[in-house]
Amino acid sequence: MADTTAHRWRFVRVGGINQVQFRNAEDLLAVDDLDPKLWMALSLPVKGVVFDKDTLELIDSDKDGRVRATELIAAVKFTRQYLKDTTALFRGGAPLPITSINDRDPAGQKLLAAAKRILINLGKSDAGALSVDDVAHPTKIFAGTKLNGDGIVTPDSTEDAELKAAVTTILDTVGGEADRSGKPGINQAKADTFFKDAQALVDWQAAGAAALTLGDDTAKAHDVWAALKAKVEDYFLRCRVAAFDGRAEAPLNGPVEAYAAVATRNLDGLALAALPLAKVEANRPLPLSAGVSPSYTDQALALRDLCVRPILGKPVDAISEADWRAVCSRIEPYATWLAKKPGSPVEKLGMDALKALTSNGAKAKVDALIAEDAALAPETAEIDSVIRLVRYHRDLKALIENYVSFDDFYEPKQRAIFQYGTLYLDGRATELCFLVDDVGKHSALAAASKMYLAYCEITRVGGEKKTICACFTAGLAESLWVGRNGIFFDREGKDWDAVIIKVVEAQISLKEAFWNPWRKISKMIGDQINKILASKEAAMQSAAQKSVDEAGTKAQEGQAAAPVPAGGAAMASAVAAIGIGLGFLSTAIAGLMGLVLGMPVWKTVLGIIGLVLVVSGPSVAIAYFKLRARDLAAILNAGGWAINGQILLSLKLGRMLTREASLPDGAERSLTDPYADDNSTRNSLITLAVILILAGGLWYVGALEHYFPVLPDPPADAPKLFHEVPPPTPPTPPPAG
C-alpha cells in the first residue's frame, strides 16, 4: 500500500529541468523529506553570492565557507521546532512575531522569554515582533546590561568600588576582550594571567632578601661588577698566558701599531677601549687606581669602593685573581636572583600595589564576578537562538528557492543569488554576471559551459576593485575584445567602470552563425582583390622606377633619352584582362538568366533559398546544437557551487539574459541622415552597370530578339578580331606490344 503520510510534492518543467515547486510554508519546512538528488544544488559558497552573509555564516555550522545540504536541513529543522505559526514564513522578509514562537515545550518557552528580554533591552517591549535590524548588532541588545553570560566582565559590571578598580587595573595591564555590550572587559584567562604574574613577582621579591649580601648597596655593587666583569676576566687570562710563555707578554699588551693609529688625533675612551684593562705581566695583580687604562679608571675606582673593599674588609688598591674570585662569589648570588626575575607587564604597577592585590582577596572577588556572568550563558544562548530564528524567518524561503530549486533564476522579474549585477556593453545588457576571485582558475573550469565569457575588472571611485565574469548569450562576438569599456551595475544599484580583461570564446547566437560564412566569403574576395591590386601596384612602381633609372643612365652617357612608353603593352594587357573578365561575367549572367527564364518563379525562389541554405545552413545547424549545449552548471561549479546536474540554457532564455538594444514601442524614427555621405553618383553608375549587364544577358539568350535583331554570322573570309586557338591535339597512343 502506498504511504499516504508522505509529503506530496509538486514539480514543474522549467528550462528543460524538473524542479520542485514551493507552494506554501509546509513545502519549505518539509524539504528534509525531499530526495537530495532532486535538489538543484548540494552546496553553495558563503562568498560570491548576493545574500545576507550573516545568515549564511549562521547556517554554515562547521565554518568552512560553504553551506551544505545537511546544514540547510539543520536550519529547516531548527525553524520547524521553534515556530508554531509559519504563515509569515512563506512571505519571506517579514519580522518575527514573538507570538509565533512555539511555547508548548520548555525549550520554546525559554526562547520566548529570551525574545521578550531582547525587546525589553532594546526599549521596544510593546513592539510584539523582532526584525533582523533589531538583532543585526547584538551589542545594542546588551548595551544596558551589567552581566550578559559571555564570561567577560567590564568595570561597569559591578558597583563595588574596590572590585571595579581591580577589573580596571587588570584591563589596563594585560589587556582585555570585547564584551557583548561592545565595551572592553576581562575574562577568566586574563584574570588568571594577571594574578599569576603578580604573585610570581611578589614571590621573587621575597626570595631576593637572601641575595642582598651587601645590604642596600648590593644593587649598586652588582651593577659596577657586571659592567667591568668581562674586562677583569680578560686581564687575568692575559696574565696567565704571559706566565705560561713570556714571549706572549708584549703582544698581549697590544701592538704598537694600535697606538700609532690613534696618535695623530684626539684621544677618547673609545680609542683605547679595546686595549687591556691594565698592563699585562705574568701573575701581576690588577691595579684599581693607578695603572688602569684611562678608559676604565672611574669604573675601576667604583669597583674598588663598592665591591672589593667592603667584601675583602681592607683598604686595597690592587687585587689578585684569588681576591677577584672572592668578590665574584659574594656578588653572583644577587646576579642569579636578578636573572630569575619574571618578565611581565604587571611590573609597572610597583611591588607595593602588587602585594596589596595579591593579599586583599581581589582575585577571589574577580573570579566570583566572572563566574556570575558565565552562569548566565544558557540565557545568552537562548538570545543567540532568537537571533538565529529571526534571520531564518526572514531568509529561509529565499535561500531554499535559490538552492533546492532555482525559482528566482527562471522568474523573469527576479534574479538568482548568483547573479551579481548587470553589465552594459556594446549595446547589450547581460544579467548573467558572476563575482570571481581567481580569473585563471575560474576560466579553466567555466570554459566547459560552452558560453561566451567576458571577464571584466570593475572599479569604483576610491580604488575599490573586483572581477566579474559576464556571459554573453545573444548578439555578435566580433565587437567584444579585451580592453573594451562598459558600465556595470551591482544589485545594490551602485555603478562601476568595467573593462574586459579576458575572453573565453564560444558561439553566441544563430544570427552570428548565419552571417559568418558570408563574412568569410566577403573577406576572402576582398583579400584576393587587395592582393591583386597590391601586386599590380608593385609591378607598375617597379616598371616606372626601371624606366627612370634607364633614362638617367642614358643621360649620363650623353645619349638622348628615349621617350617613356605610355604603357601600351601594359594597357593592352589590362584592357584584355578586363575584357576577358567582362566576358566571363556576361557569360555567367547569361547562363543564370537562361536558367532563370527557363524555370517557374517558384523554382527560382527555391533555388535562391537553396543557395542560402548551402552557404549558411551548416553553420547555423552546428551553432544550434552548440547553443543548446550551453551549461550554466559549469560556471556555478567554477564559483564553488555543487550542482546536481546540467542547467542548459534554451535559445529563448539566452535572449532574455542578454538583451540587445531596440527602439521602444511607439517610437518615431526619421530615416533621413543629414550627415550621410552623398553616394548618388556612385549608386547611379552601379545601377547603370547592372542594367547593361542584365540587358546583355537577356539579349544573349534571345529574350530581347523582338526588340533588337540578332546579328547575322560574319562571312567566312571576314577578318577576325581575335585569332582562334585550335583545340589541343590528343596525344598519339604508343604502339601496342
- Per-residue pLDDT of 693-723, as tens digits, reads 777 766 666 666 666 655 566 666 655 544 5
Q: What single-letter amino acid sits at 165?
A: A
Report d(CA 522, CA 412) in Å as an integer.
40
Stretch (H or E) spanning 396: helix 377-400
pLDDT at 726: 60
Which of 126-130, 430-434, 473-477: highest mean pLDDT? Answer: 430-434
Higher-pLDDT residue of 92, 712: 92
Could you give the angle at the alpha carbon of 520 between the alpha carbons of 519 and 525, nearest 5°? 100
Which of 77-86, 638-647, 707-716 has the lowest average pLDDT?
707-716
Please check the confidence at residue 583 and state whether its pLDDT lies above 90.
Answer: no
State the pLDDT at residue 2: 44
Q: Give CA–CA dist 632/644, Å, rounded.
A: 12
pLDDT at 281 over 60: yes
Query: Which pLDDT score, from 0 to 100, does residue 267 have?
Result: 59
pLDDT of residue 394: 93
**H or E stretch covering 318:** strand 318-319
Out of 290-294, 555-559, 710-714, pick the least confident: 710-714
Q: Look at 297-301, 359-363, 498-502, 578-582 and tell me which has the smallest mean pLDDT.
A: 578-582
575 has pLDDT over 50: no
**What's the whole-number average pLDDT of the chain?**
84
pLDDT of 441 strictly over 80: yes
Closest-CA residue to 630 (of 455, 452, 502): 452
pLDDT of residue 725: 52
Identify the band that residue 269 occupies on the pLDDT scale cut at 50, 70 and 90.
low
What pLDDT does residue 289 have?
86
| pLDDT over 80 at 46, yes or no | yes
Cα–Cα distance measured from residue 585 to residue 580, given in angstroms and rounded to the nearest whole number: 8
Helices 601-628, 510-556: axis angle to 10 degrees equals 100
548 has pLDDT over 60: yes
What is the pTM assigned to this prediction?
0.67
Candidate from 92-106, 597-611, 712-726 with smallest mean pLDDT: 712-726
Is pLDDT at 312 greater than 70 in this prediction? yes
Average pLDDT of the segment spanning 147-157: 88
| Residue 278, strand partner residues | 292
**Going along 129-259, which residue ranges are E strands?**
129-130, 177-178, 184-185
**pLDDT over 90 percentage in the chain:** 44
The per-residue pLDDT for 566 is 46
pLDDT at 141 over 90: no
Please spell the DSSP secondary structure of 643-664, one letter per residue.
Answer: ESS--BPPHHHHHHHEEEP-PP
Whole-angstrom Cα distance, residue 428 to residue 549?
Answer: 59
Domains of the chain, residue spans: 10-144+377-410, 210-343
> What share of the chain has pLDDT > 70, as a percent?
84
Q: Which of 217-226, 255-264, 557-566 has the lowest mean pLDDT?
A: 557-566
Is the model's pLDDT at 403 over the cut of 70? yes
Q: How far apart are the first and last CA of the chain?
A: 95
Report pLDDT digits (tens) over 66-81: 999 999 999 999 999 9
Report which DSSP code applies to 177: E
Q: Does the pLDDT of residue 384 top 70, yes or no?
A: yes
Is the pLDDT confidence value at 736 over 90?
Answer: no
Higher pLDDT, 581 or 528: 528
| pLDDT > 60? residue 565 | no
Q: What is the DSSP letter of 467?
A: E
pLDDT greater than 90 at residue 518: no
Lowest mean pLDDT among 230-244, 384-398, 518-532: 518-532
Lowest mean pLDDT among 188-197, 258-267, 714-723: 714-723
